[in-house]
Structure 1
Amino acid sequence: MTTAAMVVGMIPLALGIGEGAEQQAPMAHAIIGGVITSTLLTLIVVPVIYTYLDDLKVTFFKLMGKKKTV
């Protein structure tokens, strides 16, 4: 929700609508890209990497013949 509000709020600035907005458009592009990238990293990439590492730990303990400790 916050990401959507930030991106939608930056669209007029990114399009250069309004007086003096042409100078600030590159900053708006950077903000939009950064917010979208950080959201994707937080919601998709980090949980996927965590799941893979957890599966790798379980496989490692199975191969070593030890019980998994918490």
Structure 2
Amino acid sequence: LIPMALAIGAGNEFRAPLARSVIGGLLLSTFLTLVFIPVVYTILEQRRERKRGQATF
């Protein structure tokens, strides 16, 4: 995808936007999967534990 994104070669100037979109999507989905989703899950789990702790009084 890198050569396509850089438009190296004949006719690749039409494929470059598609390659850039695919690369961006792959990077974004990797970030979301490895960083964002676990952080959100941890925050929600901590809130749930706090609510359980308050309800046991």
Query: Which category describes the TM-score, using the shorter chain as reference length?
Result: over 0.9
Give the deviation of 1:47 after TM superposition. 0.4
What letter is aligned with 2:29?
S
3-state SS, counterpart of residue 22 of structure 1: coil
Structure with higher helix content:
1
Unaligned runs of 5+ residues in structure 1 are 1-9
CA RMSD of aligned residues (A): 1.0
Give the deviation of 1:26 after TM superposition. 0.3
Q: Does 1:32 align with 2:23?
A: yes
Matching residue of 1:5? none
Q: How many residue pairs align between the two structures?
A: 57
Distance in structure 2 (CA, Å) of the matches to 1:42 and 1:21? 31
What letter is aligned with 1:60?
K
TM-score, structure 1 length as denominator? 0.78
The percent identity for this pair of structures is: 42
Which 4+ runs in 1 deviate beyond 3 A?
none
TM-score, structure 2 length as denominator? 0.95
